[in-house]
Amino acid sequence: LDIDLIAYDDLTVSDPDLILPHPRLFERAFVLVPLAEIVPNREVAGRRIADAAQRVGKAGIERLAG
């Protein structure tokens, strides 16, 4: 079982086994785009999720029906 933690509240962790927020959070559209739909004004590491999602764009992101 592999669970990727992206962020947890305002917690910052820098441990060999866990880094929060995730170091590549702001590079991953597949994380940012759905997250921006849920909590667009949430800030992680001083950056608004909606702004970060807009920067990475939606290339390769497909909404699934369901």
β-pairing verdict for 43-44 and 18-20: unpaired
The distance from CA 12 to its chain's CA centroid, rounded to whole angstroms, is: 14
Residue type, 18: L
Residue 33: the pLDDT is 96
pLDDT (tens digit per residue) in 15-47: 999 999 999 999 999 999 999 999 999 999 999
Q: What is the mean pLDDT of residues 45-53?
A: 96
Provide the 10 A C-beta neighbour count for residue 61.
13
DSSP string, 43-62: EETTEEHHHHHHHH--TT--
The model's pTM: 0.84
